[in-house]
Amino acid sequence: MSRVLIVGAGLTGGLCACLLRREMAHRVHIEVWDKARGAGGRMSTSRSPSNLFCTVDLGAQYITATPYYSRIHKSFYQELLMHGIFKPLEATVEGMSPMEQGTIHYITPSGTSSIVKYYLKESGAEVLFGHQLTHVYRRGQCWEVHRKEGLPEQFDVVVLTMPIPQILQLQGDIGSLLSESERQKLEDVSYSSRYALGLFYKAGVQISVPWVAKYVSNNPCIRYIATDDKKRNLVSEEFGPSVVVHTTFSFGMEHLEEATEKVQTIILQELHNVLPGLPEPETIKCQKWRYSQVTRSVTDCPGQMTLLAKPLLVCGGDGFTHSNFDGCVESALKLFEVLKSSL
């Protein structure tokens, strides 16, 4: 049995674990580590502290399948539709950019993190949250990995799927494994930054807006608003409604280093101007996405970069493709190819 560590319980890590398990069930022991308290990464679904059924997607909102990706990733779409993880988006989203004819949008009734949770469950991997990788050292034919708290452990293979700046922050032997040109490629990658606000309401509150989601144009702060429960087609009276707000990238950049509470106040003030009749929420969650979506991905390494072949240390994620469902599937497939030939 080879011991494989996948760092990152986001879509790339979750799907990579699932593919590995399906093809090599009896040859690998898979552990997935994530520094967060739950699965999803940037496909994050947050719960109201006072009503566990009231949820909001703070990161990815819906999955957009162009005709090309519907075809080449057909099996992934079919499987998620068959298990009820995906449902076609029925409502119109106001202000959405026109898409190529034949493009389909999917929503996730249980939130976008349900995609990742599905793959992690399928993988049978041991998933450990609150495990932040800090150092990676080569020890003969193994990797010794250190985390923020706890004892070092050894693995035969390590797969890194976090945003690239977080890979570059790792200490130990990683720095010396990178050639000058590889380091440059990784350093050249850029991400947008933005804030997301989740507003949770008590059951029975009505949010009266004529859309389920809307792109706001010409506002320096707010780019997107959705009544998240309606977007996901939830109809139960027991769930309070929820609203998600995304800021513009320029607002995200401008306020990146400010205290989150202060930024939350600014967004709420602006939201009041855009939607004056919006009721007071019961609770609010403000999320800073320092690494939101990739604006420039790694050149010439589509899907993955192998830092060392033996023992295998490989990195992937949307930084090696593009920031959406298909970008992560593409990267997970490339990671899987490398793992398969190495194991």
Q: For binding to ligand FAD (CB under 6 A), which residues are involved?
A: 7-13, 33-36, 41-43, 59-63, 131-133, 161-163, 166, 194, 196, 246, 289, 292-293, 317-318, 323-325, 327-328
DSSP annotation of 318: G
* Strand ranges, E, within 126-274: 126-129, 133-139, 142-147, 153-155, 157-160, 171-172, 190-191, 194-200, 213-215, 222-227, 242-247
Nearer to ligand FAD, 47 or 246 (CB): 246
Least CB distance from residue 134 to ligand FAD, whole Å? 7
Nearer to ligand FAD, 194 or 230 (CB): 194
The residue type of 44 is: S
Least CB distance from residue 64 to ligand FAD, whole Å? 6
Nearest to 163 by CA among 320, 340, 28: 320
Nearer to ligand FAD, 51 or 199 (CB): 199
Least CB distance from residue 179 to ligand FAD, whole Å? 22
Cα-based angle 169, 250, 323 (whole degrees, multiple of 5): 55
Least CB distance from residue 42 to ligand FAD, whole Å? 3
Helix (H) / strand (E) containing 104? strand 104-107
Cα-based angle 77, 82, 85 (whole degrees, multiple of 5): 75
Nearer to ligand FAD, 42 or 51 (CB): 42
Least CB distance from residue 102 to ligand FAD, whole Å? 17
Nearer to ligand FAD, 51 or 338 (CB): 338
| Interatomic CA distance for residues 77 and 21, integer angstroms | 19
